[in-house]
Each structure stands twice: as structure tokens, then as C-alpha cells.
């Protein structure tokens, strides 16, 4: 935890286990992480220890074994061959317990699927605290489909994937941004993760490590009605070339004129910016084109977010009118909706 009303939340909870393991727990009451490490247990016991100071000491010690012992008054001694530290811990009595759970109804999913899906949606989370329900990613599991949705009201990222396990009881949960950023650090590109949903909590089980989190309560908006159904213009372009063109043209936008102008015309896209008293930029790239020509304004940051997170060689963009949302499509099951901006 950051400095909080409960000083013990600034501590790690350490407890020896019977099988030559030590359990380490950290929590801020909203998110909690528990993991096991291999140790040689000389004498069983438990303590809570100031996390930042403990981490700083271990980081500076050379490679090799370290001995941790607790003496009276919760004093913690840390020593290796040449160094000795003594820091004050606190007893475990006040340390909050992480929720108990059963893995009976767990949904087992590839870690890579969760990691990829969160990476392609989490950047669209809203950071406006007045719209609390949008401060996370909606994860919806129905049958053998899993959906990830994030929106800040001006753009929306959606990804639908199939999972091997078919579940009979569906689950919808809004996972807070903070939990997602911690989970992305823990997830690997191989292996499985178990997801356990209980009332207003979610637990992710990754081998010896568990991440528990409170969920955002409330109703996520009806995202399906935001996704455009009509496509009067369809354009396909090289993702990396498009990203570089947007990035360069965006150099000539300003807070007064934040929109980039996109001209989708036969066989090409022209991206331009014009800012009074500053100057103008113009980029042109080849594209496959079907339908009506259209000129539309978009926030360049919203385009850059999706283009740099996707790794597809090509992307397609579907448009209707200059005042209707644009739709970016990447790999199968992935959609990204961007609201247009007025051009000055």
C-alpha cells in the first residue's frame, strides 16, 4: 500500500509453511498478492515487515543466501556472510486476511490469452473517477466465449476469444485498472491461470501465486449498441506505416487544434494537421479502398494507442459519415471504436 491509515498495510506478511516454503503476502485491502518461496525453515514463525525497507536491503545484498530471524518485540534480523541489519516489524495479529476460496468453479484459461486480451483493451480504460464503472475492464465469460471490453466514452476496445472449457454459469465482472496492471506483470506467455469469481471478488491463481481483487460494482454500459453495424467505406492499410504517418502528423496538432484530418480516398489515406500560428503537416500512404470517399477528424492519440498495441501486419478501418464513429479491425474477434472529432 501507499502510506495509509493502517500502517500495517505498508508491511509484507511472512509466514513459514510445513513443506520448506515461506508464504509472502501484500495487500492494500483492494488488491492482494500471495506467493510461496523455497526456504530452509530452521524454526517456524511469522512476522510482518516494512516492505520498502526490506526490499531495499535485499536488493543491495550480494547474490547468495540470506538469514532472517525474529527476536522479541518483533525485531527482524537480516544477515548474510558480511552484512547485518535490524529492522522493526509488527505482529501478524492486525494483518488483514486474504479471502478464502475454492477452485471447484474455477475457469481455466491460457495465460497468453488473458495477457494478450488485456494488453489490447486496458489502454481504453477511463481514468475519470466520476465514471467509476468505466475505471476497469469488463470481463464476461458465457459458454465457451470470453469477452474483454474497455471504454472511456470516446473510444471502445473489444476482444472476443474462445476458451476450451465450457461453463454453465456465466460470469460478468469489472476488474479495476490497478488489478489489471498488477496481473499483466504476473502473467506469462505460457501456462494456465485459474479464474475464481466470488460475489464482489476475483482471484487469479498462477501456480504458487494468487492475486485477489475487489471488483467494481455497477452496470457496465451497453457496449454492443456503440459498435457500428453499417460500413459505407472500407479501407485496409499497413499497420506500421499508418502508425508512423499518424505519429508524424500529430507533431503539428495542439490543444487548440487537437484533431487530425483523415481523407480516405481512392487507393490512399491522407493524414494532415493544421494549427494556426504553428504550421501544418501532411502524410500520404497507400491503402486498399472500397465504397465512398470520406473526410473525418480523429484524436491521433486514440489511433496511436491501438496501432502500437496491435501486432497485425494489416488493419482495416470502416466508416460511415464524418460525424459517425470509425471502426478499426485487427485480428479475428478484435474491434476498436473511435468517436470522431470536429475539424476546425
Contact (Cβ atoms closer than 8 angstroms) between residue 76 and residue 88: yes
pLDDT band at 1 (very low <50, low <70, confident <90, very high): low
Contact (Cβ atoms closer than 8 angstroms) between residue 76 and residue 87: yes
pLDDT band at 99 (very low <50, low <70, confident <90, very high): confident
Does residue 5 have a pLDDT over 80?
A: no
pLDDT of residue 343: 87
Does residue 104 have a pLDDT over 90?
A: no
For the chain, the average pLDDT equals 95
Does residue 190 have a pLDDT over 70?
A: yes
Residues 132-187 have pLDDT tens digits of 999 999 999 999 999 999 999 999 999 999 999 888 888 999 999 999 999 999 99
**CA 144, CA 124: separation in Å to the nearest integer?**
25
Contact (Cβ atoms closer than 8 angstroms) between residue 128 and residue 98: no
**CA 312, CA 280: separation in Å to the nearest integer?**
30
Instruction: Considering only residues 166 and 211, tell me which one the structure prediction assigns the higher pLDDT.
Output: 211
Residues 259-286 have pLDDT tens digits of 999 999 999 999 999 998 899 999 999 9
294: cell is 470520406
List, as one string, the DSSP characters of 78-115: EE-SS-EEEEE-B-GGGSPPPPP--STTPEEEEHHHHH
Contact (Cβ atoms closer than 8 angstroms) between residue 288 and residue 269: no
Does residue 311 have a pLDDT over 90?
A: yes
The rounded percent of the chain whose pLDDT value lies above 90 is 90
Does residue 40 have a pLDDT over 90?
A: yes
One-letter-per-residue 3-state SS of 303-339: HHHHHHHCCCCEEEEEECCCCCCEEEECCCCEEEEEC
CA 119, 121, 123, 125 torsion: positive or negative?
negative
Amino acid at each position: 500500500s501507499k502510506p495509509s491509515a493502517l500502517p500495517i498495510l505498508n508491511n509484507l506478511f511472512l509466514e513459514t509453511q510445513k513443506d520448506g516454503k515461506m508464504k509472502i503476502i501484500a495487500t492494500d485491502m483492494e488488491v492482494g498478492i500471495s506467493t510461496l518461496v523455497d526456504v530452509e525453515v530452521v524454526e517456524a514463525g511469522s512476522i510482518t515487515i516494512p516492505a520498502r525497507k526490506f526490499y531495499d536491503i535485499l536488493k543491495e545484498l550480494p547474490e547468495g543466501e540470506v538469514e532472517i530471524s525474529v527476536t522479541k518485540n518483533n525485531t527482524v534480523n537480516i544477515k548474510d556472510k558480511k552484512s547485518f541489519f535490524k529492522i522493526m516489524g509488527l505482529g501478524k495479529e492486525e494483518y488483514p486476511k486474504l479471502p478464502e476460496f475454492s477452485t471447484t468453479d474455477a475457469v481455466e484459461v491460457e495465460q497468453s490469452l488473458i495477457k494478450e486480451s488485456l494488453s489490447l483493451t486496458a489502454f481504453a480504460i477511463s481514468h475519470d473517477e466520476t465514471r467509476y464503472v468505466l475505471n476497469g475492464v469488463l470481463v464476461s465469460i458465457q459458454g465457451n466465449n470470453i469477452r474483454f471490453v474497455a471504454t472511456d466514452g470516446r473510444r471502445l476496445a473489444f476482444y472476443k476469444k474462445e476458451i476450451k472449457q465450457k461453463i454453465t454459469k456465466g460470469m460478468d465482472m469489472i476488474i479495476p485498472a490497478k488489478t489489471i496492471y498488477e496481473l499483466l506483470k504476473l502473467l506469462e506467455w505460457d501456462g494456465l491461470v485459474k479464474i475464481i469469481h466470488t460475489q464482489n471478488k476475483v482471484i487469479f491463481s498462477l501456480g504458487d501465486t494468487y492475486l485477489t481483487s475487489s471488483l467494481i460494482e455497477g452496470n457496465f454500459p451497453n457496449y454492443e449498441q456503440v459498435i457500428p453495424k453499417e460500413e459505407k467505406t472500407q479501407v485496409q492499410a499497413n499497420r506500421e506505416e499508418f502508425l508512423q504517418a499518424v505519429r508524424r502528423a500529430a507533431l503539428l496538432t495542439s490543444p487548440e487544434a487537437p484533431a487530425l484530418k483523415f481523407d480516405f480516398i481512392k487507393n490512399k489515406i491522407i493524414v494532415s494537421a493544421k494549427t494556426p500560428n504553428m504550421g501544418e503537416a501532411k502524410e500520404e500512404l497507400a491503402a486498399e479502398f472500397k465504397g465512398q470517399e470520406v473526410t473525418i477528424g480523429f484524436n491521433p492519440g486514440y489511433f496511436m494507442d491501438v496501432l502500437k498495441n496491435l501486432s497485425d501486419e494489416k488493419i482495416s478501418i470502416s466508416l460511415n459519415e464524418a460525424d459517425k464513429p470509425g471502426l478499426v479491425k485487427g485480428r479475428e474477434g478484435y474491434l476498436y471504436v473511435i468517436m470522431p472529432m470536429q475539424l476546425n
